[in-house]
Amino acid sequence: MKDFPKTHLWMLLPLFIALAGFYFSYWSRFSQVPFHQHIHGLTATLWYMFLVLQPWLYKKHDLKLHRKFGFVGLFIAGAVVFSALQVVPNNINNERLQPILRYGLTWGDFIFLIGFSYSVIMAMMNSRQIDIHARYMIASGFWALLPALGRLIYFPLIITYDYPPPFSFIEVIYFSSFITCMVIVLMIVLDVRQEGKIYSSYVLVGLGTLFFAISFEFVGSASWWIAFCNRVLLS
C-alpha cells in the first residue's frame, strides 16, 4: 500500500492559512455575519480539517473509517460549493472595494469553485488509484488557498501601516498568485524527482491560478462581466 507518512502534517499549513487569512473578515466578526456566511465559513473550515484527517487515517491503515469519512466529505464539499455561491454576491455589494476588485474577485471565485469541484469529483472517481486520488484531494485545498493567502498578507499590512498600506490589494493578489504557483511548481518538481511523473491535478491548480492572475484586471473591468454579475448574481 502506498504510504503518505507526512501528508497530514503538511496539510496543517493550508488549514492554518485558511484560519488566519479569514480571521479579520470572518472569525473576528463571528457574531455579526449572516447565517449563509456561517455555513460557508464553517464548511470550508471542515473541509480543510478533512484534508488533515483523511491522510492521517490512511497512515494509520484505517481504510474502513477513511472510506466512511470519504462519503461525509462529499456532503461537506457540496456544502462548500453551495454556500460559496450564496456568499459570492458579497464582493459586488462591498462598497469599500473599488469596482475592479468587486468584479475581479467574483471572477476568481468562479474559477476557484469550478477548480475545487473538479478536483473533488476527480478524487472520488479515482478513489482506487491512490496516487491520483491523494493529489486531487490535496489540490482541492489549493484552489481556495489564494483568497485566504491574500487576506493573510493584506490585513497585517493595514494593521502595521494603517490605511492605505504601501501595497494595494491588487498587488497583494498578484504576489499571492505568484507564491501559490511557486508552491505548486515545487510539488510538481518533487513528484518528478521521486516518481518521474507529472500529475494533472497540480498542473490544473497552477494553470488556474495563473489564468486568474492574468485575467483578473481585464475581466474585472469588462462591461460584459459586470453586466452578467449585476443581472444574474444580484437578481
Residue 188 lies in a domain: yes
Residue 120 pLDDT exceeds 50: yes
Residue 4 pLDDT exceeds 80: no
**What per-residue confidence (pLDDT) applies to 65?**
85
234 backbone dihedrals φ, ψ, rounded to 5°:
-100, 5
Q: Residues 70-82: pLDDT tens digits?
A: 889 999 999 999 9
Whether the CB-CB separation of 169 and 155 falls below 8 Å is answered with: no
Residue 133 lies in a domain: yes
Nearest to 146 by CA among 104, 191, 95: 104
**What per-residue confidence (pLDDT) applies to 1?**
43
Residue 2 lies in a domain: no
Residue 1 lies in a domain: no
pTM of the model: 0.91
**What per-residue confidence (pLDDT) applies to 127?**
87
Domains in the chain: how many in total? Answer: 1
Share of the chain above pLDDT 70, in %: 97
Residue 30's SS3 state is coil
And the C-alpha cell for 16? 492554518
Residue 182 lies in a domain: yes
**What per-residue confidence (pLDDT) applies to 198?**
94
Query: Which amino acid appears at position 71 of this protein?
Result: F
Whole-angstrom distance, CA of residue 162 vs CA of residue 87: 27
**What per-residue confidence (pLDDT) applies to 61?**
76
Q: Residues 124-177: pLDDT tens digits?
A: 999 889 899 999 999 999 998 888 888 888 888 888 887 778 888 899 999 999
**What per-residue confidence (pLDDT) applies to 233?**
85
**What per-residue confidence (pLDDT) applies to 2?**
56
Containing structural domain, residue 121: 7-233
Whether the CB-CB separation of 66 and 54 falls below 8 Å is answered with: yes
Residue 115 lies in a domain: yes
Residue 55 lies in a domain: yes
Taking residues 28-51, report their average pLDDT.
89
H helices then E strands: how many in the chain?
11, 0
| Mean per-residue pLDDT over the chain, rounded | 89
Q: Residues 91-118: pLDDT tens digits?
A: 888 888 888 999 999 999 999 999 999 9
